[in-house]
Structure formats: structure tokens, C-alpha cells
Amino acid sequence: MTILVVGRSGQLGQSLLTALPRQYPDAVFWDRQALDLVQLETIAERLAGLKPQIIINASAYTAVDMAEQETELAYAINRDAVNALAGYCARNDAALIHVSTDYVFDGAADAPYLETAATNPMGVYGASKLAGEQAIAASGCRHLIIRTAWVFSPFGQNFLKTMLRLGGERDELNVVADQIGCPTFAGDLADAIVATLTTINAGTCPWGLYHYAGDAAVSWHEFAHEIFAQARSTGLPTPNTLNAIPSSNYPTPAPRPAWSVLDGGKFEAAFGQSGSNWRAGVSACLQALNQPTE
């Protein structure tokens, strides 16, 4: 069975690079040089050459604010390229595992979002990701769409690494406290995706749309507080003052959902994977980032 991971260089792709070969050592990982998703006309040919039976799409345009300006590029990667991947899978009886986002919702809810909740993205990023979901469903291919939220890891750029950097530079930080979500450790998300492969191989996969995110909801301010508490215990520099501020004090080009809590019960029932233990994930990140480089 040939498994292809698209998006090798991202947070999830690098986490899968650790998790997937433990059970599937022949898995293939492609970065942007191997498959440029912007070059839509090349996707089908490249896939036909490899003939993957399962594609894990860990790639995306994720620059939330820049998407407001780079609308065409966001849709090219998050919708059109996804449509091309799904089209290959539909024509060749392959399966697609695709990662989506909490940004398909407007954040107006007051209870964890189920997969059946109405979508209403507030910005280009969320709208382009929703369009990708819709393209997959319309293709008719066998698929798993897994929405997640607030992903962090030792890789790339993310909230945890930004906090650690700023914490080493500043004595006082302001962090938004009125946006609530479920931080998700990319290593846990990778393990959750690997767990779905068992059912795919067995021919018992319950295809469809799922949510997988952190096991406890917090604000960005509370998330930062936990990061610094753990960082402090390892001897890393942290700010003396961490102020809680409203979103209105930190305007961004793209609006953020005030409520990004995803209900992962359906995923756990189907695949036996509970939500990401994100506090343990913070510890794992700190350990990885503190490893001496050769």
C-alpha cells in the first residue's frame, strides 16, 4: 500500500514524518519541491507516476491575515489543489485524508461545535478551507476530513514558539483572553491520523467529516500562561507580567472566531483516539526545542 503525505515541511507533515514510518516505513513524503500545489496542471501527472492508494493532505495556505490580500493564492491551494487531489482519488479508487480548520465557523456558538453545525467562515482563509471540504465531498472519493484547531509543535511558526520568543525578549506581554479554543499538539494529531489507517486497511473505515482537537478549552491568554509556567520550570526566560486583553485591543486584518471549541466525540468513538493532551504536548515541545543541536 502506497501512502503519500503532501506537505512534508509543515507542522503536521514533520510530525507525521516521525509517527507514520513506525507502522508504515514505506510512506512517501512530498514537499513543495516535489509537488507544487500552485501548479495545478502538474498534480495529476505527478500522482499518476507514484500511484498512491492513500493521500494524506497535510498542506494548506495558512497565512490567515495575508489571505485577505492573497485571495487567489489561498483558493488555489486550499480549494483548487484539494479538488485535484480528490479528483485523482475518485478516478483511481484511492482514499484522501484531509485536514481542515475551526475557521469554517464564525465563533458565535456557546457549546462545542459538532460536525453537523452550520458553517459560516468570517474570512478568506476559512472560506477557502470550507471550499476545499466541499470539493472533496463533491468528488465522490473515499475521504476523511478532519477539522482541527490551534495547532502547535516544535516545527515552523506557531503560537507556542512565538510566545517563547517574545518571552525571552520582553518583560511584559499582552495576550488576547476573549477567544476560546482547544490547542492541538501536532504530534497527537499525527498519531490520530495514523490510527485511521488501521480501519482503512481493514476496509471498515467510517468515511466522512470529523473533529479532532485539544482535550480542554482555554483562551489564548490561558494557553500562554501554561506555556510560560512550563518554560519557567525548565529555566527558560519568561515575562514577569502577562496581561489579559480583549481582541479589540489587538486588531487583525482577518477576524478570528471568538469560540473555536470542537467536539471530538465522533472521532474518538470511530477511531479510539481521545482529544489531544495539549498540556503534555507543551512539555514535549519544550523538551524537543531544548535538545542540543549538533
Q: CA-CA distance, 81 to 34, in Å (whole number)?
A: 14
Tell me the catalytic residues: 125
Determine contact, residues 91/84, Cβ cutoff 8 Å: no
Q: In terms of Cα–Cα distance, which of 268, 276, 282, 284 is closest to 222?
A: 282
Determine contact, residues 259/109, Cβ cutoff 8 Å: yes
Q: What is the DSSP letter of 214?
A: B
Determine contact, residues 282/214, Cβ cutoff 8 Å: no
Q: Measured between alpha carbons, how far is residue 169 from residues 163, 173, 188, 282, 292 in Å?
A: 10, 10, 30, 20, 21
DSSP string computed for 179-194: -EE--EEHHHHHHHHH
Determine contact, residues 132/82, Cβ cutoff 8 Å: yes
Q: Which residue has the cell 480583549?
A: 246
User: Grid coordinates representing 54?
Assistant: 492513500
As a whole number of angstroms, the longest Cα–Cα distance in the chain is: 57
User: Grid coordinates representing 44?
Assistant: 495529476
Backbone φ, ψ for residue 243 (5° rounding): -90, 140
Sheet containing 259-260: give its strands across. 218-219, 180-181, 259-260
